[in-house]
Amino acid sequence: MRKPCCDKEGMNKRSWSPQEDQELMDYIKKHGEGHWRNIPKATGLLRCGKSCRLRWVNYLRPDLKRGDFAEDEEDLIIRLHALLGNRWSLIAGRLPGRTDNEVKNYWNSHLSKKLASMGIDPKHHRLSHHLARNLINSIAAGETSSALEHHQPFPLDHDQIKSSSASDHYQASDAGDGINDDDDSSSLLPDLNVDMASDSSLPSGTTTEDKMSLL
DNA sequence: AAGCTAGACAACCGCCTATAA
DNA sequence: CTTATAGGCGGTTGTCTAGCT
């Protein structure tokens, strides 16, 4: 049986009040970040240390940007997610003023749906079976790879996503849709076969930092 | 006006890792 | 080397609110 991170008896588990925020900010101004578990004792806050840390990191930190995500931030999140998967803290680290929680929430509530509506599997960053098939048919009909560059299998415009961004990298999804059952779409779609979420498309030994530098 | 629903966001939970003892 | 502890992270849940019926 795992020991709880703190004694939850008597702990406040509701939203933070302005008074609690102020006490936490005062403490951190005075003592700096860290030693989170001392904070409840030192301040009398009925919160566990982890909760104090989370409140500071996600809400009280002075360098937080807050507000809507800009188009370039969205683009970067999509690219980084394609590279790193659900490594929210790493993704947030590349977005000044944004927190991992914020990025994660934004992804789950906005971006994953947006990609899905564009026919892209948000988990694997691959085109859906149907859209991939359209591309394959176009190629089989004699379109060149340069035609592929201009092929827009789903409505792409700057209100949705920059055409030069994540959509460039998507390949046909084989996640349960049988795209590879009777043909090898990856060989037909070399330009799209860049699954950044898996290391297979990069040289062995490629580190996360190496991937980041590709951006 | 009241009830319901979905979306957005804040917060918690539990696991993992690093590190000190 | 082992164990305990604290911090960090991602997944999940809870709460609030706006829009709709």
**A59: Cβ under 7 Å from strand B?**
yes
Residue nearest to nucleotide C16 (CA to C1'): A15
Q: Is A67 left (phi over 0), alpha (psi -120 to 50) or beta?
A: left
Q: What is the pLDDT of residue A194?
A: 38
User: Domain-by-domain residue ranges, chain A?
Assistant: 18-60, 71-213
Which of residues 59 to 88 on A have a Cβ less than 7 angstroms from any strand C atom? 86-88
How far is the CA of A153 from the CAs of A16, A137, A163, in angstroms?
A: 47, 11, 12
**Interatomic distance A164 CA / B8 C1' (Å):** 28
> A38: which nucleotide lies closest, measuring CA to C1'?
C6
A29-57 pLDDT per residue, tens: 888 888 888 888 888 888 888 899 889 98
How far is the CA of A117 from the CAs of A154, A204, A215, in angstroms?
A: 9, 34, 25
**Interatomic distance A109 CA / B4 C1' (Å):** 21
Q: What is the pLDDT of residue A189?
A: 33
Neighbours of A125 (CB within 10 A): 24
Nucleotides in chain B near protein beta carbons (<7 Å): 7-15
Identify which of A62, A52, A66 has the alpha carbon closest to the alpha carbon of residue A20.
Answer: A52
Mean pLDDT by 10 residues, chain A (215 residues): 50 77 89 86 86 90 85 90 89 90 90 79 70 62 45 37 42 41 36 40 54 61
How far is the CA of A54 from the CAs of A35, A61, A62, A99, in angstroms?
A: 13, 10, 14, 10
User: Please, what CATH class does the domain formed by A18-60 belong to?
Assistant: mainly alpha
